[in-house]
Amino acid sequence: MPSVAVKLYSIIFKILLKHKLQLLHQAAIEGATSPFGITSRPDESAVPANPSFGPDGVATKDIHVDPLTSLSLRLFLPDSSLDRAPRDNGGAYGGYLPSVADARRRSAGPRKLPVVLQFHGGGFVSGSNTSAANDFFCRRVAKLLDVIVIAVGYRLAPESRYPAAFEDGLKVLYWLGKQANLADCIKSMGTAKGGGGGDIRKSQIADALGSSSVEPWLAAHGDPSRCVLLGVSCGANIADFVARKAVEAGKLAEPVKVVAQVLMYPFFTGSAPTRSEIKLANSYFYDKALCLLAWKLFLPEEEFSLDHPAANPAVSGWGPPLKCMLPTLTVVAEHDWMRDRAIAYSEELRKVNVDAPVLEYKDAVHEFATLDMLLRTPQALACADDIAIWVKKYISIRGHEFSY
């Protein structure tokens, strides 16, 4: 069972969350909405970005990517990105003769790191990509996986109801591809002029949407061909949607290639209750009643249904066939009322031969690895390590994979 401290904190958490949701519900009734949307609540503290590498070896910066909405990103860059791979000098590889591709990868230059798109939790109505808990979690992911993490600050409900958050997730995927193309254009222009290419931090190039800036961290260090989606709670619903759209797009999504996704205690539900939904309806932190209210705030009134495609993956209306889905790691907690539906989704993926393991943690609660007071617990640390081990199978450069 969870500790006494967790139980007490859960009681306080649910009281405060219920009050917040009731206020949001009243504001929605009164029509207090904004087409621009918001990505954070005034009562939720935010950690400022720091572009310098701190004690943990991770630098951060914030980007506002859409002039029409409040969609924003926080980038997490580990200091390992500054390492330079050694040149091929004959016997440096212990008798192993590198391939041409290996030799290119080992050229002396900035390291190219995989990219993780991270979607925070909060029931679509709260949470932030810049909160202390999310900042800490993303730093941990960046270091453990040796990746660039892009934490997505999608629009919150009820100011921006469905499909705003899902559209924001997909928009970031396309933005990542656009960044890769812009960086390639800048590089090509520099080569055509005889090298150099100028200061990429100041480079701009015109496309069909006008003048666009190249994001220097991604241009120098990002490898969008090794992209992973990581969703926390309701963020897992967004990640799964983006994964499906990426599969549907196929080569049209290039140079971005989503290779896997991680769904951490997804915010799935449905009209026909599962065993855990009955037994654990009054579970810790996010119980069934609070989640139902969050869904009412997120889904438009005319579309409200617990079997809406955004809520129930078993009746998803945005394809593709499950057999085409990406490798999917699902994390569930023993005391989470939504656990059974997440497990069932993984089972359906495995039936069609998709790599879809489930990591279940005993005595754990919803958001046990991402909630502020639980971030440093042994379970949270173990979960982060387990995720890193699985994800590295799909982001390691061929020929340099770990053994499993």
Residues with a catalytic annotation lie at 233, 336, 366
Calculate the alpha carbon distances from 189 to 47, 180, 214, 224 in Å.
38, 14, 14, 21
Q: Residue 163: is the preceding peptide bond cis (ω within 30°)?
A: yes
